[in-house]
Amino acid sequence: MNISFVKLIEIDQKSSNYLASLDNPLLKKALGVLTHLGTGAFWIPIYGLSLIFFHNDFAQLISTLILAEVIGLLTIIILRYITKRKRPVAKYKPFFLAPWNRYSFPSHHALRSFLIAVILGTDFPNLLPFLLVMAATIGFTRLYLSKHYLSDVLVGALIGILLGMESPRLLF
């Protein structure tokens, strides 16, 4: 095994153990609510409603987001089945329609959050700092709630940023 890979696993484990040791029930509850801002269950209805009510104004933007989301999901599924990395908490129960969710690498919440931040931030540059802070916060929730390791979140964020930067070219 490559020494840098071993070091990365060690950093992941140490950071995960440290955050687990903090165990603040109030913070855990608050971050448990915030983490849902990175789920498809939150964004899919927003995309659908936006297409219905703001079709003429945001059709291209929403279409770009949806296509980028599909590419992101396919990327997540492929990487998770290749790596088969277990989540930090063994008792994690995946949703039965998403069996790839039993694996941890990379974080889909981080990918989605940074993807949305970059795509929306491109069209609304004044919102970009806020969107990036929200994306980073959602990434942190995944760490604090022991759903992912640090490298899961960082790689998910990187993929989301890169895909978001390439998204203007997706529809042309």
**Residues whose CB is less than 8 angstroms from the CB of residue 116 and which lie 6 or more positions away in sequence, other chains included:** 43, 65, 131, 135, 160, 164
- This prediction has a pTM of 0.89
pLDDT at 170 over 80: no
Q: How confident is the model at residue 159 (pLDDT cuts 50, 70, 90)?
A: very high
Number of structural domains the chain divides into: 1
Report DSSP state, residue 127.
G
What is residue 151's predicted lDDT score, i.e. its pLDDT?
95
> In this structure, how many other beta carbons lie within 10 angstroms of the beta carbon of residue 9?
14
39: region left, alpha or beta (phi > 0 left; psi from -120 to 50 alpha): beta
Enclosing domain of residue 41: 3-169
Q: How confident is the model at residue 53 (pLDDT cuts 50, 70, 90)?
A: confident
What is residue 37's predicted lDDT score, i.e. its pLDDT?
85
